Amino acid sequence: MSEVNHDDLLNVDNIHTFIGQFHILEGVSVRVKKGSITVMLGRNGAGKTTTLKSIIGLTPPREGKIIFDGMEIQGKRPYNIANLGIGYVPEHRAIFRQLSVLENLKLAERKKGDFERSSEFIFKLFPDLKRLYKLPGNHLSGGQQQMLAVARALVPENKLLLIDEPSEGLAPILIQQMMEAIETLSHTTTILLVEQNFIMASQLAKQYVIIDDGKSVSSGSIKDLVLQPEVIHRYLGASIKTRKELEMEHGSEE
């Protein structure tokens, strides 16, 4: 605790997390500076999602410390952690499919009136949701579900958003819209983002952390990372979308 940096909103310090018998995280450290986007990079199965789940408390770490806003939060129940002001957007668009769009948003309220306060902002960011607000979640398209999942985290006042792969499985045009939305959010909130799409991540984020095989192996400013192709190649290799792949995606859209 001696090296507390007051710019850090979140300081994940060398956590070890087990799922059942499996030692998934073997020493992950992540620092998230207040007021910016930090991106977590790494191959599939490296432990990025588990890191987010450890922060929010769904898979509590056995060792290590997590300090949020000057308070140790490891070992607390997820709802306590969330109520400190952390919004979690899980992967695979985990919205509540039996609930309507409006109910999904209402459920996210922590105080009465949260939704009234934030609805204008949310519907400006995602105009689609206003049009669809009576529909049940399972009638939404993949992109709309992802927007709802993000919007849900915006209902209460959060100091930090944990967003897990918001672009996964979206059409390129929607990815663009999602990235613009996250850009807008970053003006008011601190964001820890998991993103496979390196090009996009490098446009959005200021800081990065690379997770590989359950360990955080590299971190710093994203500008420096762009200058280190050998690091990118070594840890992200297959997961970076090359220009060719991107072109192919655009091609398939036509």
Partner 1 sequence: MDRRNKRILQTTLIIVVVLGIIVSLYLYAGQRAFVSTIFSGLTLGSLFFLVAAGLTLIFGLMDVLNFAHGSMFMLGAYIGWQFYTNPTFIFGVAPLALAFGTGVMFISVLKPYLIAWNLTPRMQKLLPTIAYILAAVVIVFAVLGFDILGLANTAMVAMTTTTVGNPLAEISPQEPLAEFWIRPVLMMLGGLLIAFGSSKPGDKTQYAPKENLGKAMLLPAILLVVTVVSIFIRESAPVSVLLMNGNIRFLLSILVSVAFGFVFGAVIEIILIRPLYARPTFIILMTLGLSYVIRELVQFLWDPLTYQMARPPLFAMPGKAASIGEWLQNGNSTIDILGATVPTYRLFIIALGIVMFALVTLLMTKTRLGMIIRAGVQDPEMVEAMGINVKSVFTLVFALGVALATLGGIGAAPFLPVQPLMGDAYQTQGLITVVIGGMGSYVGAFVGAMILGMARAFGDYFALKLSLSPAIAEASTVIIMVIVLLTRPQGLFGSKE
Q: How far is the CB of 150 from partner 1 (least distance, A)?
A: 13
SS3 at position 141: coil
Tokens encoding 7: 């710019």
Q: How far is the CB of 132 from partner 1 (least distance, A)?
A: 18
If the CB atoms of residues 73 and 200 are measured against partner 1, the closer one turns out to be: 73
Contacts of 246 (CB under 8 A, 6+ apart): 172, 199
Q: Are 23 and 30 in contact (CB under 8 A)?
A: no
Q: How far is the CB of 145 from partner 1 (least distance, A)?
A: 13
| 159-189 b/e (C-beta count within 10 Å ≥ 16 → b) | ebbbbbbbbbebeeebbebbbebbeebbeeb
Contacts of 90 (CB under 8 A, 6+ apart): 149, 164
Q: How far is the CB of 55 from partner 1 (least distance, A)?
A: 10
Contacts of 23 (CB under 8 A, 6+ apart): 16, 17, 214
If the CB atoms of residues 98 and 176 are measured against partner 1, the closer one turns out to be: 98
If the CB atoms of residues 139 and 250 are measured against partner 1, the closer one turns out to be: 139
Q: How far is the CB of 111 from partner 1 (least distance, A)?
A: 10
If the CB atoms of residues 129 and 236 are measured against partner 1, the closer one turns out to be: 129
What is d(CA 242, CA 43) in angstroms, rounded to the nearest whole number?
15
If the CB atoms of residues 48 and 152 are measured against partner 1, the closer one turns out to be: 152
Q: Are 233 and 242 in contact (CB under 8 A)?
A: no
Q: How far is the CB of 178 from partner 1 (least distance, A)?
A: 19
What is the biggest distance separating any 2 CA atoms in the chain, rounded to whole angstroms? Answer: 56
If the CB atoms of residues 47 and 137 are measured against partner 1, the closer one turns out to be: 137
If the CB atoms of residues 33 and 106 are measured against partner 1, the closer one turns out to be: 106
What is d(CA 254, CA 48) in angstroms, rounded to the nearest whole number?
33
Contact residues for partner 1 (CB under 8 A)?
Answer: 56-58, 75-80, 82-83, 88, 90, 94, 96-99, 103-104, 106-108, 110, 152, 156
Sheet holding 8-19, edge to edge: 22-33, 8-19, 63-68, 71-72
What is d(CA 108, CA 153) in angstroms, rounded to the nearest whole number?
7
